[in-house]
Amino acid sequence: MITPDRKPRGGELTDGQKASNRSVNRIRAAVERAIAHLKSWKILKTGYHRIMHDFSDILRTVTMLEIYRAWG
């Protein structure tokens, strides 16, 4: 996990740290949006109540459908 640099007490971040934080935040925002899109699928939003053995296949299918929707 990558976390942004914190501002030191009574100080400021360097320009390099600010640039690093921007790129970390850009990646984190994209991941959070992707997770939000997956949660909009009813099977994932209401809770999965089936055999856990099938969950990875369901998640893979939902993910591929979301990718198809976004790029299609």
Residues 38 and 44 sit within 8 Å (Cβ to Cβ): yes
- pLDDT tens readout for residues 20-64: 999 999 988 888 887 787 777 776 666 666 777 787 888 888 888
Asked whether the predicted pLDDT for residue 11 surpasses 80, the reply is yes
Whether 1 and 27 share a structural domain: yes
Q: What is the DSSP letter of 11?
A: -
Q: Which pLDDT score is estimated for 44?
A: 65
Q: How many domains are there within the chain? A: 2
Whether 28 and 45 share a structural domain: no
Residue-number span of the structural domain to which 50 is assigned:
41-72
H/E element holding 62? helix 55-71
Q: Which pLDDT score is estimated for 48?
A: 64
pTM for the complete prediction? 0.51
